[in-house]
Structure 1
């Protein structure tokens, strides 16, 4: 059987998330068991370690998170927040390498936040996403919620912004109270409606007070939630906002290789080997990820109804044109 020191070292390596050390100590326990005459136990321990390594298993620390209630926002919050429980993953998205690396860093910091807090540090929890429509900002919020297995709360701007002086700021306080009490990913989409420049020509006092309140609430937030703001118009945002966020991620519409990867990922087994990528790349230019995905779905549906096992270049070109026409209508 394992010694007391081995047991303590095993638990410590698990708590630290040190995979190599955990497996090393487990093998030491197996060797010790063999020397004590417990050959069967030693063999089973070695087999378990080998299986875990073959699966790519990772030793990760566990922490007790605040409970996440599976319920819709109630009372006044019901008009301010909409909730969903995404199963989207980052692996399903086609992202620029730099953006993907920074998202992975955010996830890593949240999954091992206890390590950071032991040194007086906090994970990135205030993220600003900027880029044109269809570049993947909203899907990123869903993917982060899915990866972290927490709900995605989207702030309903129609319910938040009112004409009554002082009422919007009061509602914003309710939202930040929810951020503190219920762990989740909180998405402020079309964020320029709140974060517009305070010296803009069309500025009114109410919007200026709302922005000041938002900045104050953002600075004071000490929750375990992840706050995401997304905008198609970063040039409209007040300059003070940018330094209040832990990360600012810039998105672009897919181009070149990213168009090809997006199409192949969406088509899956319906992708033939003879697609005309030059024509497809030219036709798909300017379309967002969501538009490309819907166009691929349309082409797959056509193939299924025509009893074909794959799509054609022509069906994809038609689908891209239809998506572009739908945008103009």
Structure 2
């Protein structure tokens, strides 16, 4: 059941018209009930929250004014089954979820659950989706930190905003996602680095080291070589993402096609042409092929449409590489 502090915060946020804080506390209560095995109650709470958000249609964020443009709040609905990764990776993600659900059991033995996670891999390989799935599975809101807005040219301002974000992490349990993390986690010894960014990195190292909340902190980067080596020691787990192999390509294409999947699809040529594309690129190509089939009045997607859209994705990648 909800503890006294949660009840007081729930009432306070309601009368202060702080809707996002109200939803966050309610989600915390749902997560607590789920950890105690009260799945039905947790599910009922989630449904009430989702219904309330739909009816109110409010975009008000209850964060401090300075953070409203820096943190994007969402309630993910992406299913775990939609994530196409090797079984080894799936087990590691499941372990993070399992430890979170039984954190109290670990705390009783003086141990902490994995809650500071670094995701590394090429664009479109499932890093952002993983953060969304962690939030969905744990019935927590996803708070995405807008790193491009976090970093400013004014001395001390970025570190001050980082402190506010970590105060929020301590106060409101959620999954906090730092995408393009290398923007603030760059190697301190780089010759072209400026003093302000070194201070920002030092601040982040200090804040993440001192953080003892139950929130999950998830950072993602496409460029691990740019990260300061001290960062790697601050994370409880590091997951490496790669481009899909033929088995994952086939699973991904089948998942996205669904009822549009042709029974006798020539998988050999489709998979061969998909080599080198990311999960996101393949999924986009398949969805484009589905749209072509719908507009043509067809109920299935054939190899020809798939190959055309896959080739377009390859052409787009070539164009980007030339710029």
Question: Which TM-score band (shorter chain)?
Answer: 0.7 to 0.9
* Aligned residue number for residue 61 of structure 1: 36
After TM superposition, where is structure 1 displaced by more than 3 Å over at least 4 residues in a row? 62-65, 67-71
Cα deviation code 1:31-83 (max 9, x no counterpart): xxxxxxxxxxxxxxxxxxxxxxxxxxxx9625999x99975234111122111
2:185 & 2:156 partners in 1: Cα distance?
16
Confirm or deny that 1:299 pairs with 2:274.
no
* Aligned residue number for residue 235 of structure 2: 245
1:190 & 1:184 partners in 2: Cα distance?
19
The aligned length equals 270
Deviates more, 1:81-90 or 1:67-76: 67-76
2:106 & 2:66 partners in 1: Cα distance?
35
Q: SS at 2:68's partner residue?
A: helix
2:190 & 2:268 partners in 1: Cα distance?
44
Which of 1 and 2 has greater Rg?
A: 1
Q: SS at 1:88's partner residue?
A: coil
* Aligned residue number for residue 21 of structure 2: none
CA RMSD of the aligned region, Å?
Answer: 2.1
2:179 & 2:316 partners in 1: Cα distance?
22
Confirm or deny that 1:271 pairs with 2:271.
no
- 1:321 shift after superposition: 1.4
Cα deviation code 1:182-227 (max 9, x no counterpart): 1111111111111111001111111111111101100111111100
**Is residue 89–residue 144 contact of structure 1 (8 Å, CA) maintained in 2?**
no
Confirm or deny that 1:119 pairs with 2:100.
no
Match among 80, 86, 96 for residue 106 of structure 1: 96
Match among 171, 183, 197 for residue 193 of structure 1: 183
Normalising by the residue count of structure 2, what TM-score does the alignment of the two structures yield? 0.79
- 1:97 shift after superposition: 1.2
Match among 121, 134, 141 for residue 131 of structure 1: 121
Normalising by the residue count of structure 1, what TM-score does the alignment of the two structures yield? 0.78
Match among 148, 151, 174 for residue 141 of structure 2: 151
1:131 & 1:280 partners in 2: Cα distance?
24
2:276 & 2:99 partners in 1: Cα distance?
34
Cα deviation code 1:137-161 (max 9, x no counterpart): 0111111111111111111123211
2:156 & 2:64 partners in 1: Cα distance?
22
* Aligned residue number for residue 232 of structure 1: 222
Runs of 5+ unmatched residues, structure 1: 1-58
